[in-house]
């Protein structure tokens, strides 16, 4: 069964912070938009312990730039189908080339630190492994905040609190999961990502996230082929 409420949150970013602990660490971005404020929860560590893969693509061109720029600030439901604004890591193309390739994705760097000062080694490893991606997201967030017209487009699954849509998560690849607790999220044309637009510079930057356990060889249902 695919993820629920596949959407894109178009927002004016205000701030960001690390939330969660253990195996569930996110970088939470607060964004303004019609019906907001909203939060975008970006995975910087896997909840199931699998390795996080990421790619930051500068000078990016969205598959449908005009369609994105036509969206007002706020949350927008998307149809999980080809030909619209939906993203698919395996199937989306830009000018005839793959939007993102598995070979472009990097593993979060592993730490060399040893336990010291009474802190557990696992905690030191967790902090060091997430810092590279966290720093990159923070840098992009600050650049977008400083640009008075900067906008973040966060693709994923919208969630609600007491019936009010207030955020988006699953901002990562949502297909190719092996059989298990996350295989129910498999689907096509429903992948998550962050696209950052800085009008003052005329640039787009994309942040793609996936997990090492996810396959890039998927069938029409998004399951491992």
Domain map (residue ranges) of the chain = 6-211
Tens digit of each residue's pLDDT (9 = 90 or more) over 73-132: 999 999 999 999 999 999 999 999 999 999 999 887 544 444 444 456 655 655 655 677
CB neighbour list of residue 92: distance below 8 Å, 6 or more residues apart: 63, 98, 99, 100, 191
Residue 218 per-residue DSSP state: B
The pTM assigned to this predicted structure is 0.88
210 touches 182 (CB < 8 A): no
With bands split at pLDDT 50, 70 and 90, how would you rate the model's confidence at 18?
confident
pLDDT of residue 136: 84
Tens digit of each residue's pLDDT (9 = 90 or more) over 181-209: 788 899 999 999 999 999 999 999 999 99
Residue with tokens 């962050």: 194
Query: How many CB atoms sit inside 10 A of residue 77's CB?
Result: 10
CA distance 211 to 221: 18
Q: What is the mean pLDDT of the chain?
A: 87
Of the candidates 113, 26, 127, 88, the residue with the CA atom closest to the CA atom of residue 221: 88
Average confidence (pLDDT) over 119-148: 75
Pairing of strands 38-43, 52-57: unpaired
Q: What is the percentage of the chain residues whose pLDDT exceeds 90?
A: 62
CA distance 45 to 37: 25
| Residue 223 Rama label (left phi>0; alpha psi -120 to 50; beta) | beta
Residue that wins the pLDDT comparison between 16 and 49: 16
Token pair in block for residue 186? 């498999």
Note if the bond before 101 is cis, omega within 30 degrees: no
């Amino acid at each position: 069964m695919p993820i629920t409420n596949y959407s894109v949150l178009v927002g004016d970013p205000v701030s960001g912070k690390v939330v969660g602990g253990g195996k569930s660490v996110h970088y939470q971005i607060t964004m303004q938009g019609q019906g907001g404020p909203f939060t975008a929860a970006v995975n910087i560590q896997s909840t199931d312990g699998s390795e996080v893969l990421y790619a930051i693509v500068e000078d990016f061109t969205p598959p449908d730039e005009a369609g994105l720029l036509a969206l007002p600030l706020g949350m927008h439901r998307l149809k999980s189908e080809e030909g619209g604004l939906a993203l698919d890591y395996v199937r989306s193309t830009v000018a005839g080339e793959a939007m993102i390739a598995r070979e472009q994705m990097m593993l979060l760097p592993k730490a060399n630190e040893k336990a010291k000062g009474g802190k557990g080694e696992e905690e030191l490893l967790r902090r060091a492994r997430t810092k590279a991606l966290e720093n990159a997201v923070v840098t992009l967030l600050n650049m977008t905040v400083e640009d008075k017209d900067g906008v973040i487009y966060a693709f994923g699954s919208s969630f609600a609190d007491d019936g009010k849509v207030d955020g988006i998560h699953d901002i990562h690849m949502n297909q190719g999961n092996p059989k298990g607790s996350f295989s129910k999220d498999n689907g096509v044309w429903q992948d998550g990502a962050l696209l950052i637009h800085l009008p003052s510079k005329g640039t787009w930057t994309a942040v793609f996230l996936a997990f090492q356990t996810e396959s890039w060889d998927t069938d029409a249902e998004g399951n491992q082929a």
